[in-house]
Chain A
Amino acid sequence: MSSRLPRQPLEWVDREKTISFSFEGKSYTGFEGDSITSALLANGVSQLGRSFKYHRPRGVFSLANHDVNALCQTEETTHIRADITPIVEGMQLTATNTLGGLKNDKGRFIQWIAKLLPVGFYYKAFHTPKCLFKFWEGIIRHMAGLGTVNTSWPAKRVSKRYGFCDFLVVGSGPSGMSAALEAAKSGLNVILVEENAHLGGSLGYQAANNTEVGELRKSLKEQVLASDNIDVQVGSVASAYYGDHWIPVTGPEGIIKVRAKSVIVAAGLFEQPAVFHNNDVPGVMLASGAQRLVSRYAVKPCDKAVMLIANEEGYQAASDMLEAGIEIVAIADLGQSTQRGEVAKAVAAAGVTIFDQHAIYSVEQEQEKVSGVTLCKVDQDGQCDTSSSVKLSCDGVLMSVGWAPAAALLYQAGVGMGYDETLEQFVPQTLPAGVFAAGKLNGVFDLYDRIKDGAEAGKQAAAFVLGQEIQVTRPARSSKAHSHHYPIFEHPKHKNFVDLDEDVQLADLQNAAKEGFDNIELMKRFTTIGMGPSQGKHSNMNGIRVLSRVTGLSIPETGSTTARPFFHPVPIKHLAGRRFRAEQLTPMHDFHVKNNAVFMEAGAWLRPEYYGSPDDRANAIQRESLNVRENLGLIDVSTLGKIEVFGPDAPVLMDRLYTMRMSNLAVGMTRYALMVDEAGVIIDDGVAARYSDEHYYFTTTTSSANSAFQLIQRYIIEWGLDVQAVNRTGQLAAMNLAGPVSRAMLQAHTDIDLSEESFPYLGFKKGKVMGVPAILLRVGFVGELGYEIHVRANQAGQLWDQLMSAGQSFGIKPFGVEAQRLLRLEKAHIIVGQDTDGLTDPYQASMGWSAHLKKDFFLGKRSLEMLKPKQQKRLLGFMLPKHYQGGTPKECHLLIKNNEINGRVTSVSFSPTFKRFIGLAFVDDPEAVVGDSIQIRLDDGRLVTAELVSTPFYDPDSKRQKVDVDDYQEVA
């Protein structure tokens, strides 16, 4: 471990526990608590990855998850962020995005042709010939991939849970901890979210050896950890902000969806890099990254460093490096070191050479590592004077030239961010209710001011939650700049990267702006700056500065982009969480399973599609349908919506809800019930039964049960009716016993008189079936004599079994949804949602008879009055020739007339009754009449001729539904 330092006061590693792992096939050891990056650096491995586009060597940069220079993968997982992922015993890692390994990556030669590959080159170079774009796309994706996804990995589900608090504090630096402590004084609950494994924020790595700072850090941490009402979530990221303080906190165990009453964002700053030639070579890193490396992991970033500095924080970093035994060869200060405070004086006094008004012009490299730098004098505008260059030998370059606020949550919360030209930093200006900002992100830099700023924000948040009015005095923002206004330096050989994730260079941005992508949002999308995994944490600020300079606009005029949720990458398994996919079963489900039902989903319900083997699907459906026509079938229709309405205004409600008149429905009878919306579009249908003058029971389609009930409740309130509604869908089960012998079979097992005189078609009766209280509805959706039997859910399974047993001698068989669809198609009964769409009105569905426009009012009446004379299409029946042998027409196949679309098929099936294909189709020709031909275009483009026929296809006089018909052939 050549680069491991002696024990550091705040180090995270446990030197008693050694961990073995491998990287790129070589074995290494580290300590428990090491990240992959720190362990590799400790072993002298500086090259950790290859860049996205040019496959340039990359090393540690921020060590804060603000860049993705060090991305690794294992056999099972890809996109492992080495900077923050702890090493695990036996871990076998390789770098992502290499062609043949990290050292010998064949892709590294791409950088030599970089001039030919500016941003957007693929759009410009490969858009013609169009046929080759796919070819080029494949190559580009192969070269620019980020890791290999192992699609055969086992699905891992993690918990996603809810959390609640009065205060959510983001960031546990001095501001965050003091805010949490102050808010907690209210006695209310605080959640404190910290991205790292330990509390402290920048106190944990800046000035780590300073005794005074150490005491403050220790005191704040102890108070936070001792507080009963502060829930500390370390290793967690507040990943996004949604309305009403709804924040997903992504932690090691998954996402906690936190609903907070107020949010205090004290997330600090992202250090920003300088842009110069070869600023991406391994060994070039942010000064704060070097401080993290030393303080947390006791690892040297380099032996001999040259630093580029534009603020006091840079000199503090230099001091920390000196303390750690790292030689500072020289410091290039973009301004005057004499203006950097006491710490700069101390560094100078330590004998470090400081070049004021100097920049790093370029980095030299040997064996893909830093070997030296060239400094140049720089003027106020950032122009380098190459005639005054100084060459220095070093193995590391540390930069501290500025900061950008970690303000993604604030942007998402609607905070107005403005550019403070004193600070050279975006800061919050207007905050929405319940959202507070504190600390460096708020422009407050002095340590004691940050503690006060956090505490005052905590007070404000507490007052907000408690509904109190208070006056607080927030500390003033810093009076000097902590960021350089333009730390970006031209170089004729380029390779001066603004965005390391996407390999975006200075010239790419300048050219994009000159090409017209001169708006910050446009430039982002064209160049992809800020669109990589780091989401612009290290690149957006410099991108804004570059655009500002090219356009001549100020930074405020240039504006900034908004980081969208989630602003920080989150594993897909965390987003997915545990799968809650609600599923409804009918009480007869066990029977269906035992009888080999093949299930289909109908909303949340599982319904038997048919019974039998999937290999025999078509035959099974036809067998089931024929058995209903010839003998007796039983289908589970428990999934139908079942609603009761009662009260003095029940008839009024029913008249207004449905197109047909319901107030004149006789007690004891049922009626078809069609519902349209305000636009006259069909939204539901079913059967309504009148129990008494003030009491109706009606069914809805399976998928509309809940929506219909909601609509009914809404209109009861809106219309001010004295009526109440109860949704009994799941409480009642239903089954339809259908077939010519249904009456004969059922009569022996019920106390209800089923004779035609006593119980006519469309009647209903209450009584007992097999001793079970039941409601019988005599309806005929499938076109045969039939009885819908509605019973309590807990009695339905037993009743079904008894009916199946009792019906054996009558040839009873269960039938599924597909057979029912075929049977109703033969009767030309529509299925809402299949034979109608989001625009279909009753006239288009050839159901004008169902719209009783003479009623005073019903939902959608005015629309239907307008639509009635304007029909441009109709739902009509068609048949294919009897011995047709060609391709199968399908639902949604188009009708073609004179090479124009003339309609579409809504339902089609082979009818065993008619021994040919029959169907329903919308025909866009109001003049079309029975006997005309239509042409249906099949999948393969062939046209099939069909004949428009009158409907119902089967039993047009509905004789079979009204009397026992023994001679099946007579009506078929």
Chain B
Amino acid sequence: MNKFSCSQIEQGHLFHIKGNNALSPLDALSLQVPEKLFHYSPLDNMGFVAKLGQSEFLLYRDNEESWDDWPDSVSDPQTYVFPRDDALFTLNGENWSEFMLQVCSFDFSKSTPGEFILANMAGVSTWFRVPSSDEPLVFGCDPSYGHYLYSTMQEILAS
């Protein structure tokens, strides 16, 4: 039996927040924002706020609340909130960094929980939420590549 498995995440809401006042909507939601660049603060379940730049964040809420209207409610002209439909996945397995050696040139064995990595995976630009030891690796990519990345992962796992 394979020691790794990959699943798609179907639920949740992902937002790309960018602009000179990008922090303000996150502050309004009382969300803890990571201090360091390319790190994330965990939210409930597998949610997170990731810091991609001084004025750029990625927010993922894995809950059932409707967030569809949230971007429109942010009225600050210096803040732009874009809902995203990334293909989201989890990679389960104790030593998932070993599996990643087959698809990614980034050395995940040196990464630490809390890091938010942007890297190329099997030819696709992908973000990775480096988990604590008891969690799966969560990663996502442009939705148009979702089928390809999923089928590629399944093919490798099957081999």
A binding-site residues for B, Cβ under 8 Å: 159-164, 257, 259, 578, 580-587, 604-605, 638, 644, 646-647, 692, 694-695, 722, 724, 726, 728-731, 792-794
Contact B122 A580 (CB under 8 A): yes
- Out of A161, A164, A728, which one reaches B82, CB within 8 Å? A728
Residues on the A chain within 8 Å of B89, using CB: none
Tell me if A793 and B102 are in contact (CB < 8 A).
Answer: no
**30 A–B contact pairs at CB < 8 A?**
A159-B156, A160-B102, A162-B101, A163-B101, A164-B109, A578-B102, A578-B156, A580-B123, A582-B123, A582-B124, A584-B148, A585-B144, A585-B148, A586-B144, A646-B80, A692-B77, A695-B80, A722-B20, A724-B55, A724-B80, A726-B18, A726-B80, A728-B82, A731-B83, A731-B84, A731-B85, A731-B142, A792-B83, A792-B85, A793-B143
Please tell me if the beta carbons of A159 and B124 are within 8 angstroms of each other in the complex: no
B36 CB–A CB distance under 8 Å: no
For chain B residues 125-142, which have a beta carbon within 8 Å of chain A? 142
Question: How distant is B4 from chain A, measured CB to nearest CB, in Å?
Answer: 13
CA distance A865 to B127 in the complex (A): 44
B77 contacts A587, CB within 8 Å?
Answer: no
Q: Is the CB of B19 within 8 A of A647?
A: yes
* A794→B18 contact, CB < 8 A: no
User: In the bound complex, do residue B152 and residue A162 qualify as a contact, i.e. CB atoms below 8 Å apart?
Assistant: no
**Residue of B103, B123, B147 touching A585 (CB-CB under 8 A):** B147
- Given contact pairs A582-B122, A644-B80, A724 touches B148 in the complex (Cβ within 8 A): no
Encoded as 1 (CB less than 8 Å from any A CB) or 0, chain B from 77 to 114 comes to: 10010111110000000000000011111010110000
Instruction: Using A582-B145, A638-B144 as known contacts, list a sample of 17 further A-B pairs with CB atoms less than 8 Å apart, ordered by residue number in A.
Output: A159-B102, A161-B102, A163-B101, A578-B102, A580-B123, A581-B123, A584-B142, A586-B144, A604-B145, A605-B144, A692-B77, A726-B16, A726-B80, A731-B85, A792-B85, A793-B143, A793-B144
Give the complex CA separation of A163 and B124 in angstroms: 19
Contact between A161 and B101, CB atoms less than 8 A apart: yes
A159 CA / B157 CA spacing, docked (Å): 11
Task: Say yes or no: B143 contacts A731, CB within 8 Å.
Answer: yes
Task: Please give, as numbers and ranges, the residues of chain A lying within 8 Å of B110 by CB-CB distance.
Answer: 164
A308–B156 alpha-carbon span in the complex (Å): 53
Interface residue B73 (Cβ < 8 Å from any Cβ of A): no
**In the assembled complex, how far is the CB of residue A869 from the closest CB belonging to chain B, in whole angstroms?**
43
Q: Which of B16, B143, B159 has the most CB of A within 10 A?
A: B143
**Residue of A whose beta carbon sits closest to that of B103:** A580
Size bin of chain B's contact surface? 20 to 34
Report the minimum CB–CB distance from A121 to chain B (whole Å): 47
A259 to B144, CA, bound (A): 31
- How far apart are the CA atoms of A731 and B82 in the complex, in Å? 9
Residues 15-39 of chain B, each 1 if its beta carbon lies under 8 Å from chain A, else 0: 0101110000000000000000000
Most buried by B among A578, A605, A730: A730
B85, B122, B124: most-surrounded residue (chain A CB, <10 A): B85
- Most B CB within 10 A of own CB, among A160, A581, A724, A729: A724
Majority secondary structure, B binding face: mixed
Closest Cβ neighbor of B110 among chain A residues: A164
**Could you tell me the distance between the alpha carbons of A580 and B103 in the complex, rounded to whole angstroms?**
9
Do residues B80 and A794 form an inter-chain contact, with CB atoms below 8 A? no
Q: Are B19 and A587 touching (Cβ within 8 A)?
A: no
Interfacial residues, chain B to chain A (CB-CB below 8 A): 16, 18-20, 55-56, 77, 80, 82-86, 101-105, 107, 109-110, 122-124, 142-145, 147-148, 152, 156, 159
The complex places the Cα of A692 from the Cα of B80 at a distance, in Å, of: 13
CB-CB < 8 A to A586: which residues of B?
144
Q: Which residue of A lies closest to B125 (CB)?
A: A706
Instruction: Tell me the bound Cα distance from A724 to B18 in angstroms.
Output: 8
Are B101 and A730 neighbours in the complex by a CB distance under 8 Å? Answer: no
A585 to B150, CA, bound (A): 13
CA distance A164 to B101 in the complex (A): 9
Bound-state Cα–Cα, A49 to B107, Å: 45
Closest CB in chain B relative to A294 CB, distance in Å: 40
Query: Are B143 and A794 closer than 8 Å at their CB atoms?
Result: yes
In the complex, chain B residues whose CB is within 8 Å of the CB of A578: 102, 156
* Minimum distance in angstroms from B69 CB to a CB of chain A: 10
Give CA–CA (A414, B8) in the complex, Å: 46
Please, which residues of chain A bring their CB within 8 A of the CB of B144? 584-586, 605, 638, 729-730, 793
- How distant is B15 from chain A, measured CB to nearest CB, in Å? 11
Q: State the CA gap A159–B123 with chains docked (Å).
A: 15
B105 touches A257 (CB 8 A): yes
Cα of A586 to Cα of B18 in the assembled complex, Å: 25
Instruction: Give min CB distance, B102 to chain A, whole Å.
Output: 5
Least CB distance from B62 to A in Å reads: 16
The 9 closest A-B pairs by CB, nearest first: A730-B142, A582-B123, A584-B144, A730-B144, A164-B107, A794-B85, A580-B123, A161-B101, A580-B122
Residues in B with CB closer than 8 Å to A792 are 83, 85
Q: How far is the CB of B113 from chain A (nearest CB, A)?
A: 19
Q: Which residue of the partner chain B has the closest CB to A728?
A: B82
The interface residues of chain A lying within 8 Å CB-to-CB of B159 are 159
B77 touches A726 (CB 8 A): no
**B84 cross-chain contacts in A, Cβ below 8 A:** 731
Question: Would you give the shortest CB distance from B125 to chain A, in whole angstroms?
Answer: 9
Taking CB atoms, residues of chain A closer than 8 Å to B16 are 726
A153 to B124, CA, bound (A): 31
A159 to B143, CA, bound (A): 26
In the complex, what's the smallest C-beta–C-beta distance from A817 to chain B, in angstroms?
Answer: 16
A582 to B55, CA, bound (A): 30
A691 to chain B, nearest CB (A): 10
For B80, the closest partner residue in chain A by CB is: A646
